[in-house]
């Protein structure tokens, strides 16, 4: 299946080669040397040099961790080959997803199954909302009789010191056939009106949790669903707590692409904090919060396999920069460069059969993402740093950081440079240390979650 999946669409290689050349030509017509210089100018990175520096640091510091993880996966395959009486010929890219998933099941399955009993849908949502109320010093009031797209959609007013700030719609049982399992979106931006009043924003959380036929049967969540709810409700609060003058700059509308997901991902890290998990959980039979030991095991298992996964993202990001920051004089084709960089960065060899993975990476053909693939990884780095620096003090959850987070990160939307707001919140320049510590790296005195 791996070979079939990754040897199709070979014709796309030539199309990518052509697209890269056309982007380079367009950038030069606009006065830039490469497409990467043109594409990264509106981002916080401001250019390929800063993006490459971050990715190079991550590559260097993740390599040792990744080597250790690869050895563990190799041992699993070696044991399988020995049990089947076959000769072990090495560990290849086609093996990685299977053995990584198997290792994850072995280490997390029991704890995740046991955790489900503490995560009933309706109480979890209410506790997450209560946690955000305390974090951001706002009050929520459920509105009755408000017209929404379905009768069972809950509508909340968000107020600060009695003043209406916005509305949040919560639809937990969306019946649409397609779309993300949990997602939040801005329904209406906030802005100052010409008559001196303010149009308050509105956001919606939409989830596709099946409604049981028997209403007495609880809807129990996996921890991944809890994390998604925390992240997307955090995104909803990001929308309603933004206070820009113009709708154009409201919330994520004008945020830099390497920052747009940072606020929500920062808040999502609450789902990996033992104290926060205890606050938002309640056993569906006893009402007791999740035991600290069980939550601790869940959190401790988080780094499993993370280094190899992130190294893969580092490779794709560096490859994206390489093809879009080239001067056009290199004789390597886009697929040959892909194979060369993959072997040296991802640590996992491709195998004897040549594949054409680059032919199916739609992100590389996207004008919005070309030369900007690193933004996904950058958001994880920044969010880890923001959370570790202010939301945790001496191992305890520090909800008083919410006021500063609102002031420097949420309130200004895209009306000011996000790097300035992030540095003001941190009191320094961002660092990779907290992110690396969260995936198991030894960062000395770096703050961890």
CB 181 within 8 A of CB 121: no
The conformational region for residue 375 under phi > 0 = left, psi -120 to 50 = alpha, else beta, is alpha
Q: Give the integer Cα–Cα distance in Å for 421 and 430.
A: 11
CB 96 within 8 A of CB 308: yes
3 state SS of 328: coil
Q: Give the integer Cα–Cα distance in Å for 17 and 332.
A: 11
Q: Give the integer Cα–Cα distance in Å for 229 and 234.
A: 8
Tokens of 203: 């956001």
DSSP string, 64-76: HHHHHHHHHHHHH
Q: Give the integer Cα–Cα distance in Å for 74 and 83.
A: 14
Q: Give the integer Cα–Cα distance in Å for 326 and 20.
A: 9
Residue 252: closest CA among 65, 83, 418: 418
Reported residue count of the chain is 449
Q: Give the integer Cα–Cα distance in Å for 348 and 367.
A: 29
3 state SS of 144: coil
Tokens of 361: 């990476």
Looking at 93, 232, 256, 449, which residue is catalytic? 232
CB 113 within 8 A of CB 294: no
List the Cα angle 262/297/67 in 5-degree steps: 70
Helix residue ranges per DSSP H, 42-139: 48-83, 93-116, 121-136
Between the CA of residue 102 and those of 1, 64, 79, 301, 308, what are the distances in Å? 17, 22, 13, 14, 15
232 assigned to active site: yes
Half-sphere exposure of 96 (CA within 13 A, CB side): 19
Q: How many C-beta neighbours within 10 Å does residue 292 have?
A: 12
CB 55 within 8 A of CB 377: yes
8-state DSSP, 112: H
Catalytic positions are 232
């Amino acid at each position: 299946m791996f070979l079939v999946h990754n040897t199709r669409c070979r014709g796309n290689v030539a199309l990518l080669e052509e697209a890269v050349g056309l982007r380079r030509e367009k950038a030069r017509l606009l006065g830039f040397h490469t497409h990467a210089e043109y594409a990264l100018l509106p981002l916080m990175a401001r250019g390929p040099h800063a993006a490459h520096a971050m990715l190079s640091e991550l590559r260097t510091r993740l390599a040792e961790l990744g080597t250790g993880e690869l050895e563990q996966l190799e041992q699993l395959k070696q044991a399988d080959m020995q049990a089947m009486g076959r000769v072990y010929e090495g560990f290849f890219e086609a093996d990685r997803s299977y053995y990584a998933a198997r290792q994850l099941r072995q280490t997390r399955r029991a704890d995740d199954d046991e955790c489900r009993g503490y995560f009933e849908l309706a109480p979890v949502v209410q506790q997450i909302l209560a946690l955000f109320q305390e974090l951001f010093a706002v009050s929520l009031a459920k509105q009755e009789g408000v017209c929404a797209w379905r009768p069972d959609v809950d509508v909340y007013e968000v107020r600060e010191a009695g003043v209406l700030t916005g509305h949040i719609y919560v639809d937990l049982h969306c019946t649409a056939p397609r779309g993300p399992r949990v997602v939040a979106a801005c329904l209406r931006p906030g802005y100052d009106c010409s008559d001196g009043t303010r149009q308050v924003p509105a956001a919606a959380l939409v989830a596709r949790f099946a409604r049981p036929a028997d209403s007495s049967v609880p809807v129990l969540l996996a921890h991944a669903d809890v994390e998604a709810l925390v992240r997307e409700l955090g995104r909803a609060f990001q929308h309603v707590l933004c206070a820009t003058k113009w709708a154009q700059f409201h919330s994520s509308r004008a945020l830099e692409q390497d920052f747009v997901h940072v606020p929500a991902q920062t808040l999502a890290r609450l789902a990996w904090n033992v104290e926060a998990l205890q606050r938002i959980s309640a056993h569906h039979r006893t009402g007791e919060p999740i035991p600290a030991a069980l939550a601790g095991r869940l959190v401790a298992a988080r780094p499993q396999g993370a280094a190899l996964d992130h190294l893969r993202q580092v490779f794709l990001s560096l490859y994206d920069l390489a093809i879009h920051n080239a001067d056009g004089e290199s004789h390597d084709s886009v697929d040959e460069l892909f194979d060369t960089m993959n072997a040296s960065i991802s640590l996992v060899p491709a195998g004897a059969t040549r594949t054409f993975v680059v032919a199916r990476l739609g992100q590389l053909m996207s004008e919005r993402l070309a030369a900007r693939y690193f933004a996904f990884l950058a958001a994880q780095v920044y969010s880890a740093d923001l959370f570790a620096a202010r939301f945790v003090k001496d191992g305890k959850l520090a909800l008083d950081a919410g006021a500063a987070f609102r002031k420097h990160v949420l309130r200004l939307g895209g009306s000011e440079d996000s790097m300035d707001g992030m540095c003001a919140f941190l009191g320094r320049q961002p660092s990779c240390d907290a992110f690396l510590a969260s995936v198991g790296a030894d960062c000395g005195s770096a703050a961890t979650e």
